[in-house]
């Protein structure tokens, strides 16, 4: 038997660098950093997994109005990036939402035929008593949370438990920390298991030094998430943070036209750790 079903599903993974904040400092990014005034650019990514005709979108980028409100610059529309990759947003059937912060939840309307997947714990969090506290609600936009409620009542949002298989070769795993329902995405690729850490890691530096990012719900979950990431990824070179400019610097571009904008993280990094 050499049927197709014998071959494990392997995905291509495209990381779309749709935004940037070059004015960000280390002190805004890391708690009690030794050099708080030093600049440390924050990039913004969303992702798409592609396998033959199958497409799974992971996070939907940021509404440009909220980018402006929060002081970030848009580099491109993640929706236009999908089109440049040959993906029709209205044909996408599956969207994973790793958490509900505004920079991961824009453009929901661009996917009218999709089913959305998110941690039940995140929905409880964003509609529960923690949102009475400014600290916890500061990275959420109520209009977008309202959209999630609408999708839920339309039967298009599945709120799942902590570990969930979305497709053969694609699983999601709760880690918490950054927010109550933060999850990471494990994807089988030709080079092995890649982990899209989403905001469980904003920067490689958190992972390398074992330090927390400054936007936190639960610090102990945030730090122990690093261990979970190590368990699920085939190596440290298979781990992809959500906001680190190094990602675009070390992975190969999806195409010449998309150089600097979309990189292939299912392929091995083309530059060494030191050049990160
Ligand atoms: Zn984020």
Q: Determine the distance separating the centroid of ligand 1 and the alpha carbon of 199, expressed in angstroms.
A: 5
- Residue 182 — pLDDT band, cuts 50, 70, 90? very high
Q: Determine the distance separating the centroid of ligand 1 and the alpha carbon of 103, expressed in angstroms.
A: 5
pLDDT of the residue at 246: 96
**Pairing status of strand 94-96 against strand 115-119:** parallel
Between the CA of residue 230 and those of 112, 169, 184, 220, 237, what are the distances in Å? 35, 18, 12, 16, 10
pTM above threshold 0.85: yes
Alpha-carbon torsion 112, 117, 120, 125, what sign? Answer: negative
pLDDT of the residue at 137: 96
42 in a structural domain: yes
4 in a structural domain: no
pLDDT of the residue at 15: 98
Question: Average pLDDT of the chain?
Answer: 95
- Residue 4 — pLDDT band, cuts 50, 70, 90? low
pLDDT of the residue at 130: 98
Could you give the dihedral angle defined by the CA atoms of residues 127, 220, 20 and 84, in that order, rounded to the nearest 10 degrees? -70
Nearest partner of 74 among 44, 109, 108, judged by Cα: 44
Give mean pLDDT, residues 98-122: 98
Q: Determine the distance separating the centroid of ligand 1 and the alpha carbon of 4, expressed in angstroms.
A: 37
pLDDT of the residue at 232: 98
pLDDT of the residue at 207: 94
pLDDT of the residue at 221: 98
Q: Residue 208: which domain range?
A: 9-275
Under the phi-then-psi rule, with left for phi > 0, alpha for psi from -120 to 50, and beta for the rest, what region is 192?
left
- Residue 9 — pLDDT band, cuts 50, 70, 90? very high
C-beta of residue 95 within 8 angstroms of C-beta of residue 117:
yes
pLDDT of the residue at 58: 98
pLDDT digits (tens, 9 = 90+) for 157-178: 999 999 999 999 999 999 999 9
202 in a structural domain: yes
Residue 271 has pLDDT above 90, yes or no: no
pLDDT of the residue at 5: 60
Q: Determine the distance separating the centroid of ligand 1 and the alpha carbon of 1, expressed in angstroms.
A: 45
1 in a structural domain: no
pLDDT of the residue at 1: 44
pLDDT of the residue at 53: 85
The fraction of the chain above a pLDDT of 90, given in percent, is: 94
For residue 49, give the CATH number of its domain: 3.60.15.10
Q: Determine the distance separating the centroid of ligand 1 and the alpha carbon of 169, expressed in angstroms.
A: 24
- Residue 196 — pLDDT band, cuts 50, 70, 90? very high
Cα 205 from Cα 180, distance rounded (Å): 22
Q: Determine the distance separating the centroid of ligand 1 and the alpha carbon of 167, expressed in angstroms.
A: 24
C-beta of residue 105 within 8 angstroms of C-beta of residue 140:
no
203 in a structural domain: yes
pLDDT of the residue at 273: 58
86 in a structural domain: yes
2 in a structural domain: no
Alpha-carbon torsion 159, 164, 170, 173, what sign? Answer: positive
- Residue 7 — pLDDT band, cuts 50, 70, 90? confident
Can you read off the two tokens belonging to residue 132?
């009475």
Higher-confidence position of 52 and 6: 52
- From first CA to last CA, the distance across the chain in angstroms is 44
3 in a structural domain: no
Q: Determine the distance separating the centroid of ligand 1 and the alpha carbon of 228, expressed in angstroms.
A: 19
How many structural domains compose the chain? 1
pLDDT of the residue at 276: 46
pLDDT of the residue at 2: 45
Q: 3-state SS of the chain: helix, strand, coil percent to 5?
A: 30, 25, 40
């Amino acid at each position: 038997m050499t049927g197709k079903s014998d071959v494990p599903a392997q995905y291509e993974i495209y990381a779309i660098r749709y935004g940037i904040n070059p004015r960000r400092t280390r002190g805004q990014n890391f708690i009690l950093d030794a050099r708080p005034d030093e600049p440390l650019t924050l990039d913004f990514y969303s992702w798409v997994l592609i396998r033959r005709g199958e497409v799974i979108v992971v996070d939907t980028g940021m509404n440009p109005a909220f980018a402006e409100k929060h002081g970030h610059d848009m580099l491109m529309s993640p929706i236009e990036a999908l089109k440049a990759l040959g993906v029709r947003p209205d044909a996408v059937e599956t969207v994973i939402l790793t958490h509900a912060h505004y920079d991961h939840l824009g453009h929901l309307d661009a996917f009218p035929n999709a089913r959305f997947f998110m941690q039940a714990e995140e929905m409880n969090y964003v509609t529960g008593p923690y949102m009475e506290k400014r600290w916890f609600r500061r990275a959420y936009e109520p209009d977008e949370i309202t959209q999630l409620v609408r999708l839920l009542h339309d039967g298009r949002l599945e709120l799942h438990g902590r570990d969930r298989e979305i497709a053969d070769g694609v699983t999601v795993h709760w880690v918490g920390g950054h927010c109550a329902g933060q999850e990471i995405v494990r994807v089988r690729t030709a080079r092995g298991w890649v982990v899209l850490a989403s905001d469980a890691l904003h920067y490689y530096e958190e992972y390398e030094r074992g330090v927390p990012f400054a936007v936190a719900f639960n610090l102990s979950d945030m730090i122990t998430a690093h261990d979970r990431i190590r368990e699920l990824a085939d190596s440290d070179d298979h781990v992809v943070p959500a906001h680190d400019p190094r990602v675009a610097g070390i992975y190969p571009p999806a195409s010449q036209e998309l150089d600097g904008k979309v990189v292939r993280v299912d392929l091995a990094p083309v530059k060494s750790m030191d050049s990160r």
